[in-house]
Amino acid sequence: MYERAEARIDLGALRHNCRELKSRLAGGVELCPVLKADAYGHGALHCVSAVAEAGADRIAFATASEAVLARSVVPDVPLLVLGALAPAEIEMAISARADVAAWEPGFIATLADQAAAAGLVVGVHVKYDTGMGRLGTTDPELVLELARTAAAHPNLRLAAIWTHFATADEEDTTFRDLQRDRLAELGERARREFPEVKLHAANSAGLIADPASHFDMVRPGVAIYGMDPFGEDPADHNLRPVLSLHSWVASVKDFAPGMSAGYGRTWQAEHATRVAAIPIGYGDGVRRGLSNKGEVLIGGRRHPISGTVSMDNITADLGPGSKVRVGDEVTLIGSQGGETILAEQVAVPLGTINYEVTCGISPRVPRVGRDEGAAKEPRPGSGSR
């Protein structure tokens, strides 16, 4: 029995998802899984080896420290840091032998100096802001100027020009197509000078929905973890959820009508029932917004979260005559019996996205790597809602 809660990470499912996504790519297109934010809450140390084994051509992160950690596990897989780097972080990225993103002349100059001091050559991915409105330059001429600077310096290597989609998960593809075409147009110009430069744009949604956006490399994030980038059912794309979240029943009490559970007495028993206390709460990542809205699985059946989610505990209405006992397992994300709670379903009452659900699981919940999905068949009834 684990202490309070645990998140189980199905490494077989993770490998399956990477291979499924790679099967959608034309020959020569690289797969670059994104393992930022501790692998979207799944535990990067568990995931980095699995995606490498599944054929990742490169692995991407948001920060230099993430790349350093990964390099200790995968000594030979190419790495890419996508995010902004403070001057102190540049040395970390270089020490990890990671490629880095760039979009400002001053950063390129600092990077070149530090690469020269380290006696290494650093790959540069020049970021073109085609419409996301965050990092990157919107000026195509500056993109080309930075590309020339990187290509000319002996300690830099022009690796790629790239962009990031703002609306790839939306039904209206107009803006996604505009961003894609802007990159394609600039890439055509760049390749007249630098025939080997790569282009990349596609996130999970772009990879699945728009083969024309694959270019030379794709950067799937949420999809490799078996979550649907469109917020529906991952089984629709032959993806298998990687993370499941579990706790256990710490107490079962008989409630008479009118008895309440939790802070503020936001839930009161309408009739005689039994109530389970479960030692997991918002301190573990079970959002307070699930109070009186979320569900858990116990004994293969759905039970409502009844009462306010507190820091360390939740309560669930078991119904009258329930046979649930102390020690029974509780599933908050995942499957039990014939029932499944997807991260996508947890996100709905919160008004958020599946990404935030798994990223929000706190560090005090241990991530336990397993290999359950290697031979797993599709979930019964998957593909329907």
Query: For 357-368, what is the HEC assignment?
Result: HHHCCCCCCCEE
Angle at 378 between CA 376 and CA 380, to 5 degrees: 120
The total number of structural domains in the chain stands at 2
Average pLDDT, the chain: 95
Question: Following CA atoms 131, 134, 135, 136 in sequence, which dihedral angle do they give, to the nearest 10 degrees?
Answer: 20
Q: Tell me: the pLDDT tens digits for 87-124?
A: 999 999 999 999 999 999 999 999 999 999 999 999 99
Question: Following CA atoms 209, 212, 213, 215 in sequence, which dihedral angle do they give, to the nearest 10 degrees?
Answer: 140
Query: Is residue 376 one of the residues assigned to a domain?
Result: no
With CA atoms as reference, report the closest residue to 12 among 375, 382, 379: 375
The whole-number average pLDDT for the span 343-362 is 98
Query: Is residue 63 one of the residues assigned to a domain?
Result: yes
Task: Judge whether 322 and 251 are in contact, CB under 8 Å.
Answer: no
Q: Tell me: the pLDDT tens digits for 239-287?
A: 999 999 999 999 999 999 999 999 999 999 999 999 999 999 999 999 9
Q: What is the CATH number of the domain that holds 278?
A: 2.40.37.10
Q: Known catalytic residues? A: 36, 263
With CA atoms as reference, report the closest residue to 344 among 247, 246, 239, 267: 239
pLDDT at residue 224 tops 60: yes
With CA atoms as reference, report the closest residue to 225 among 14, 46, 11: 14
pLDDT at residue 47 tops 90: yes
Task: Judge whether 39 and 242 are in contact, CB under 8 Å.
Answer: no
Query: Is residue 52 one of the residues assigned to a domain?
Result: yes
43 and 129 in a single domain? The answer is yes
Tokens representing residue 34 in the block: 């994104």
Q: Domain containing 331: what range?
A: 243-341
Query: Is residue 238 one of the residues assigned to a domain?
Result: no
* Beta-carbon contacts of residue 26 (< 8 Å; ≥ 6 apart): 211, 214
